[in-house]
Structure 1
Amino acid sequence: MSATQPSDDAFEKGHIKIPSMTPGWLLDAWKYMPRSSSACAPSRGLPVIIMAHGICGNKLMSLAPYAETFACMGYAVVVFDYRRWGASGGTPRHVVYISEQLEDYRTVIKYCRLQPEFDPHKVILWGTSLSGGHVVTLASERELNPTAVISQCPYLGTGPSTEISWTFIKTILRGIQDVLRQAVGLHPTYIPAVAYPGQVGMLTKPGCVQGVQRIVADQRDFPNEVSASSLFELPFYNPTASAPRITCPALVVAAEHDNLCPLQAALELKALSPLVEVVVVPCHHFELYPGTSMHEKSVDAMKAFLLERVALA
């Protein structure tokens, strides 16, 4: 079966709400369960893969093909939106707090371990871009004890190079304005999540606008805005720093010509931990996602890794 053409008959998709650490704010999630138990009928539940999107993304942005592929293999999958994003609760909207997103992953992990349909000893974390960095960070938390992690084109603390320009200065000033506004309880100052080179925005490298457009089936699913102060989260986030403490097998699928999350960062991660495996795909950042020529190559690496590291009973 092709990684891009899973059979709907092979899995059931449900919709669940998971209480977050903020009272009253629920995490919106999809739950995929294989229909057939012939390939895997464990008494302790199924291995479960927990997934979330990258910066400014939500689960409607082409995460379903991954989940469907894994469910067809016999794994359970839970795909969730962070607080403030997608269909999850939380205000103000579209603000990136890395500590909050890591906490949301932990919340979903704990939730899944309490559900009888999942094996609490076989929890796999999956992330892409910024969330690819999140799962690397979480792989080093011994108390979480994930079984394995899969990280696609991850942000590992090294971002794209920036040039001092008038656009850069305007972007920073918008970020400072947002910090001041939110500090006194005002509505955030927003900038585009993706924009063309030379414009104010979060992601402005060549190919970003076109890449995001490819993974959004309906433009209404992607508001294309983020609080300007979210820019200041990334320089202080370094998932690679936790590499020596990684406790489980980790697959990194890296794009050779990535202009957002450089390949060199993935190679440095591998050098710091014997548990890290890197597969390099000859493409750009957004060419690993569904609908591109290199997507199946990325997914094939993930499938092989899963079957080797988290075998189905």
Structure 2
Amino acid sequence: MPHDVPAVSGRGTAWRRAVTVTLALELLLVLLGCGVAWQVDAGGRTPPAAATDLLGSDFVDIDLVPSGPPAPATVPGAATGTYAWDCGRNENGHRNTANIVMAPGYPGQPHHVHDYVGNVSTAVGSTPQTLAAAGTTCHNGDRSTYFWPVLRTVGPAGSTDHAGHDGEIQVPVDVTLTFSGNPRGNVVPMPRQLAGTVGDAVAVTSGGQNAAATWTCSSTPERRTTAYPRCPAGDQVQRIFDFPSCWDGRQVDSESHRAHLRFPAPDGSCPRNTFPVPRLRLTLAYDIPPEVRFQIDAFDGQRNSPLTDHAFFVNLMPEPLMARVVYCLNSGQTCRDD
């Protein structure tokens, strides 16, 4: 018998039980302390139960999410400007199931509703001609269309209260559209009718390789997650869509709806034979209390997963307006049209 193991006796057995209980308690404390580094991600990991008891495994406490990487460094002469403009927040209730980028001319599934800002005519039967002649909610005359799945509040995790697609639609309290330049050089104008896609509506069943939308809270914009965030009281829930911005110079759309407009590398450089165009960031903010569960509209089989969040745009800016945007970005100015 090893010399460091007490002899089996009444006293020795009691001693070992006491040690076992002590070690178990210490291990529990360590696990609780280490939980702050655990977050939901595309690999299917879930946050600690304390953060998801009522909301479910698709949620993560924003305090458990690490900060993202810093912005790439800019080279001399790069397009460092920004241009922001106001298109409202869909106060007029423009919603439908159409998707004029992925499936033009076809009505979508009734449980997959889109919110719109910009062009007021976007619908199943839209054509380039009807869109170009329509009005807009954008104060600067931008007739582009911007759309994304609606967000709904639903019942607690495991309940049947609004478990499907009939939860109350949440109107964003703020929608921010911002163009930025490119840290490696100047940008060129977007052509009219250029279509942009970010995220993947079937990310759960397709493997998630095109999942790109991120979530955060208004007080912690540097913390990004692919899960639904549980935000502190008083914070706004935010959805952030960073669109691809490297154009092939030829097509305004492609069969995949992605090949013609690609994402830059982490340092901002564009793939070979592509050119940087203004990069669109679309930020949606919602007033949702920490204890309220929410989810996006999604196709059947996608579990209303946050990984499936996505958005689209079709550029219909008048050419003089696009020229003003490009000049603002390339000259390093901070511009805004209210």
Flag whether TM exceeds 0.5 (same fold).
Answer: no
Category of TM-score, reference length = shorter chain: under 0.3
Superposition TM-score, scaled by structure 2 size: 0.24
Query: Greater relative contact order: 1 or 2 (C-alpha under 8 angstroms, separation 6 or more)?
Result: 2
Superposition TM-score, scaled by structure 1 size: 0.26
Whose helix proportion is higher, 1 or 2? 1
